[in-house]
Protein backbone atom coordinates (compact mmCIF):
# COMPACT_ATOMS: atom_id res chain seq x y z
CA UNK A 1 0.00 0.00 0.00
CA UNK A 2 2.85 2.38 0.85
CA UNK A 3 4.40 1.69 -2.55
CA UNK A 4 1.13 2.59 -4.31
CA UNK A 5 0.89 5.85 -2.36
CA UNK A 6 4.50 6.63 -3.16
CA UNK A 7 3.95 6.05 -6.88
CA UNK A 8 0.75 8.11 -6.75
CA UNK A 9 2.60 10.96 -5.00
CA UNK A 10 5.35 10.90 -7.62
CA UNK A 11 2.76 10.97 -10.39
CA UNK A 12 0.99 13.97 -8.86
CA UNK A 13 4.31 15.81 -8.48
CA UNK A 14 5.25 15.05 -12.09
CA UNK A 15 1.90 16.28 -13.41
CA UNK A 16 2.17 19.46 -11.32
CA UNK A 17 5.64 20.19 -12.69
CA UNK A 18 4.50 19.55 -16.27
CA UNK A 19 1.56 21.92 -15.82
CA UNK A 20 3.92 24.61 -14.52
CA UNK A 21 6.18 24.17 -17.55
CA UNK A 22 3.25 24.52 -19.94
CA UNK A 23 2.05 27.73 -18.26
CA UNK A 24 5.56 29.18 -18.25
CA UNK A 25 5.46 29.39 -22.07
CA UNK A 26 2.62 31.95 -22.09
CA UNK A 27 3.84 35.53 -22.55
CA UNK A 28 1.98 38.84 -22.64
CA UNK A 29 3.22 41.91 -24.49
CA UNK A 30 1.83 45.35 -25.34
CA UNK A 31 3.12 46.96 -28.52
CA UNK A 32 2.56 50.50 -29.72
CA UNK A 33 1.48 50.53 -33.37
CA UNK A 34 1.48 53.55 -35.67
CA UNK A 35 -1.14 54.02 -38.37
CA UNK A 36 -4.16 52.34 -36.78
CA UNK A 37 -6.56 55.26 -36.98
CA UNK A 38 -9.96 53.57 -37.14
CA UNK A 39 -11.91 50.52 -36.03
CA UNK A 40 -11.36 48.82 -39.41
CA UNK A 41 -7.59 49.19 -38.96
CA UNK A 42 -7.62 47.61 -35.52
CA UNK A 43 -9.93 44.79 -36.65
CA UNK A 44 -7.63 43.90 -39.54
CA UNK A 45 -4.65 43.62 -37.17
CA UNK A 46 -6.70 41.65 -34.64
CA UNK A 47 -7.95 39.16 -37.23
CA UNK A 48 -4.47 38.68 -38.70
CA UNK A 49 -2.92 38.00 -35.29
CA UNK A 50 -5.69 35.60 -34.24
CA UNK A 51 -4.79 33.41 -37.25
CA UNK A 52 -1.21 32.94 -36.00
CA UNK A 53 -0.54 29.57 -34.39
CA UNK A 54 0.45 30.20 -30.78
CA UNK A 55 -1.45 33.47 -30.32
CA UNK A 56 -3.88 32.92 -27.45
CA UNK A 57 -5.58 36.31 -27.10
CA UNK A 58 -5.41 39.75 -28.75
CA UNK A 59 -6.78 43.18 -27.80
CA UNK A 60 -6.26 46.09 -30.19
CA UNK A 61 -6.96 49.80 -29.64
CA UNK A 62 -6.86 52.24 -32.55
CA UNK A 63 -6.02 55.93 -32.36
CA UNK A 64 -2.97 58.15 -32.56
CA UNK A 65 -1.27 55.93 -30.00
CA UNK A 66 -2.68 52.59 -31.11
CA UNK A 67 -1.75 49.54 -29.09
CA UNK A 68 -1.80 45.80 -29.51
CA UNK A 69 -1.88 43.60 -26.42
CA UNK A 70 -1.09 40.00 -27.28
CA UNK A 71 -0.94 36.87 -25.17
CA UNK A 72 1.01 34.10 -26.88
CA UNK A 73 2.82 30.81 -26.42
CA UNK A 74 6.47 31.72 -26.86
CA UNK A 75 7.32 28.12 -27.71
CA UNK A 76 5.11 28.34 -30.83
CA UNK A 77 5.55 31.95 -31.94
CA UNK A 78 8.03 34.70 -31.14
CA UNK A 79 7.67 38.46 -30.91
CA UNK A 80 9.44 38.96 -34.24
CA UNK A 81 6.72 36.93 -36.00
CA UNK A 82 3.99 38.96 -34.25
CA UNK A 83 5.66 42.21 -35.35
CA UNK A 84 5.93 40.88 -38.93
CA UNK A 85 2.21 40.04 -39.03
CA UNK A 86 1.39 43.59 -37.88
CA UNK A 87 3.74 45.04 -40.51
CA UNK A 88 2.31 42.77 -43.23
CA UNK A 89 -1.15 44.08 -42.32
CA UNK A 90 0.06 47.58 -43.20
CA UNK A 91 0.95 49.06 -39.83
CA UNK A 92 4.19 49.81 -38.03
CA UNK A 93 5.03 48.42 -34.58
CA UNK A 94 7.03 51.01 -32.64
CA UNK A 95 9.83 50.05 -30.26
CA UNK A 96 9.43 51.69 -26.87
Provide the CATH number for the domain around residue 66: 3.30.70.100
Residue 18 belongs to some domain of the structure:
no
The CA radius of gyration of the chain, in Å to the nearest whole number, is 19
Q: Which of 60, 68, 84, 81 lies closest to 32, judged by CA? A: 68
Report the pLDDT value the prediction gives residue 55, as an integer from 0 to 100: 96
Q: How many distinct structural domains can be found in the chain?
A: 1
CA neighbours closer than 13 Å in the CB half-sphere of residue 47: 7
Q: What is residue 35's DSSP assignment?
A: T
What is the chain's pLDDT, residue by residue, as a tens digit (96 residues)? Answer: 667 667 766 776 676 666 655 555 899 999 999 999 899 999 999 999 999 999 999 999 988 889 999 999 999 999 999 999 999 999 999 976
Question: Please, are residues 96 and 29 in contact by the beta-carbon 8 Å criterion?
Answer: no
Domain boundaries, position 68: 26-94
Q: Which of 4, 91, 20, 12 lies closest to 68, judged by CA? A: 91
Amino acid sequence: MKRVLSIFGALVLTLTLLAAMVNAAITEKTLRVDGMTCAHCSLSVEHALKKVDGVVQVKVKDGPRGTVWVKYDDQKVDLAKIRKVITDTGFQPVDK
